[in-house]
A = this chain, B = another copy of it.
Amino acid sequence: MNDTHSLPRNETGIKTAVSILKQRFGERLQTGEAIREQHAHTTTWIANQPPDAVVFAETTEEVADVVKIAAEHRVPIIAFGTGTSLEGHVNAPAGGISVDVSRMDKVLAVHPEDLDAVVQPGVTRMALNEYLRDTGLFFPIDPGADASLGGMAATRASGTNAVRYGTMKDNVLSLEAVLPSGEILRTGRRAKKSSAGYDLTRLLVGSEGTLGIITELTLKLYGIPEAMSAARCTFSDVASACNAVIMTIQMGVPVARIELLDADCVAAVNGYSGLDLPVAPLLLLEFHGTNAGVAEQAATFGEIAEETGGTGFEWTANAEARTRLWQARHDAYWALRRVRPDATAVATDVCVPISHIAEAVTRASAKAAEMDLYSPILGHVGDGNFHCTLLINADDADERSRCEAFTAWLSELAIELEGTITGEHGIGQGKMTSLTKELPGALDVMRLIKHAVDPLNIMNPGKIFRPDE
């Protein structure tokens, strides 16, 4: 994509900084090709642009040291957690140093009374939940991949249960970060709310490593619900399914997850998982609460589904049966991959007001078909957020160019429908051009802030802001 071109490199600075860092970090600085490539973008069609070196930092002070050296020599710094981002966030278009924080993987404190935990940025969401297993608490945000919590904060991640628990913006109480100057910033304290000055926590959440490197997070936790129930229902068309979603949300049913699979997805999982679901739009739901509460929620949804033309409504509070009911969703990604095993998957996401989601999904499907693209749709429809998972032959220049045209068109559709070009994946390199269309005036203010906080532009350059503007 044209946003991922290389940027001018500061060869002298990079050489000097790498050599100083080698002295300082020894074997914890790596320059081998494989490790450098692995620390650049690897998850989609965006080109792999490796850093010049990878430093495995183990403490906040070490991150600060790296940043100070990089600042002195004007060398780019790119934070790296698990590399699961989808828009090229970890690429090094101008070269520079990748700061791998995966060894900063300690849970520093859990405060059960306050429902919070203090973690290092390399802790992954699954590792945190494993750590919490005996406490009766959990951290709900689930973007799919077992991403690092630092990376999830940096990209303002969310996922299937954001409809109930919110996104990273709602679940980070405060942050510690190393600023471009090498100074260490603490954005807030452990109180559940605060009106003490500008909300720097929320400024860093979603800043994609362009304002600082997150070195510690204080996160909200939740009690594991007494009960969970799941439900499933088929609809004749996307519009009916979306009507059911809208009514569910409007009635205040505190649904924990509400996912849409389009007919392409259902066909794929039928084949992959040996299911025989009707090949039509499918809603999958999960409810959290008391035993009586989750039964009541499922029953309420059942009534809504009937009213909106749903068929084959099923629900259960049994754990194994829940997993079976949700199998279509759990298997969806791999099922889709198997439809075109050699294809590259390009997962793109947009988010629109829920009243526009039926139109958005329907038009996106029609457009993909018109452009001869295979683009099944999975949606976190309770938030109006959905993904087109394009499966393309990335070596076929024509298909690739149609796919590029489609994703750009999809962003414009989202803007037309009062929505956003990304609900949860972020801008990275992939959506810089679209961002100028979504929020032109706001982008100017973002740039003012970027210049003020990072005047040397060493923090993840070439992301969010088009370098040529």
Q: Residues of A with Cβ closer than 8 Å to B?
A: 111-116, 155-158, 162, 166-167, 169-170, 179, 183-200, 202-203, 205-207, 211, 222-223, 225-226, 246, 249-252, 254, 289-290, 292-293, 296, 351-355, 383-385, 414-415, 418-427, 431, 435, 438-439, 441-446, 448-449, 451-453, 464
**Which of A169, A205, A289 is the most central at the interface, judged by chain B CB atoms within 10 Å of its CB?**
A169
* A188-B420, A449-B453, A452-B451 as given contacts; A199 in contact with B169, CB under 8 Å: yes
* CB-defined contacts of A435 to chain B, threshold 8 Å: 196-197
Task: Verify B156–A189 contact, CB threshold 8 A.
Answer: no
List, in ascending order, chain B residues with CB within 8 A of A202's CB. Answer: 169, 199, 202-203
Of the candidates B199, B226, B420, the one whose C-beta lies within 8 Å of that of A191 is: B420
- Once bound together, how far apart are the Cα atoms of A169 and B296, in whole Å? 31
A176 to B: closest C-beta gap in Å:
10
Query: Is B385 touching A186 in the complex (CB atoms < 8 A)?
Result: no
In contact, A197 and B442 (Cβ under 8 angstroms): yes
Taken together as a complex, chains A and B put the C-alpha atoms of A196 and B200 apart, in Å, by: 17
A192 near B383: Cβ-Cβ < 8 Å = yes
- 5 A-B pairs with CB atoms under 8 Å apart are A179-B445, A188-B442, A191-B383, A193-B351, A226-B252
- Which residue of B194, B293, B422 contacts A293 across the interface (Cβ within 8 Å)? B293
State in angstroms the CA–CA spacing of A166 and B289 once bound together. Answer: 19
Docked CA distance A115–B251 (Å):
11
- Shortest CB–CB separation between residue A183 and chain B, in angstroms? 7
Number of copies: 2
Bound complex: CA A198 to CA B414 (Å)? 19
- Evaluate contact between A194 and B423: CB separation under 8 angstroms: yes
Whether B206 lies near A199 (C-beta < 8 A) is yes
CB-defined contacts of A418 to chain B, threshold 8 Å: 189-191
A200 touches B446 (CB 8 A): yes
Q: Which residues of B sit under 8 angstroms from A179, Cβ to Cβ?
A: 445
Give the distance in Å from the alpha carbon of A439 to the alpha carbon of B188 in the complex.
Answer: 7
A293 to B249: give the CA distance in the assembly, Å.
17
Min CB–CB distance A190 → chain B (angstroms): 4
Report the minimal beta-carbon distance from A365 to chain B, rounded to whole angstroms. Answer: 20
**Complex contact B453–A156 (CB within 8 A):** no
Q: A185-B445, A296-B290, A425-B195 are in contact. Are A203 and B206 (CB under 8 A)?
A: no
Min Cβ gap A61→B in Å is: 15
With a cutoff of 8 Å between Cβ atoms, the chain B residues found around residue A423 in the complex are 191, 193-195
Q: Would you call B197 and A427 a contact (CB within 8 A)? A: yes
* A191 pairs with B449, CB closer than 8 A: no
Bound Cα distance A195, B350 (Å): 9
**A84 to B358 Cα, complex, angstroms:** 43
Minimum CB–CB distance from A236 to chain B (whole Å) comes to 20
Kindly list chain B residues whose C-beta atoms are within 8 Å of the C-beta of A293. 292-293, 296
Q: Are B195 and A445 in contact (CB under 8 A)?
A: no
Q: Check B196–A449 contact: CB distance below 8 A.
A: no
Q: Judge whether A186 and B442 touch: CB under 8 Å.
A: yes
Chain B min CB distance to A466 (Å): 12
Residues of B within 8 A of A193 (CB): 158, 162, 167, 169, 351, 383, 385, 420, 423-424
Contact in complex: A191, B352 (CB < 8 Å): yes
Q: How far is the CA of A441 from the CA of B137 in the complex (A)?
A: 32
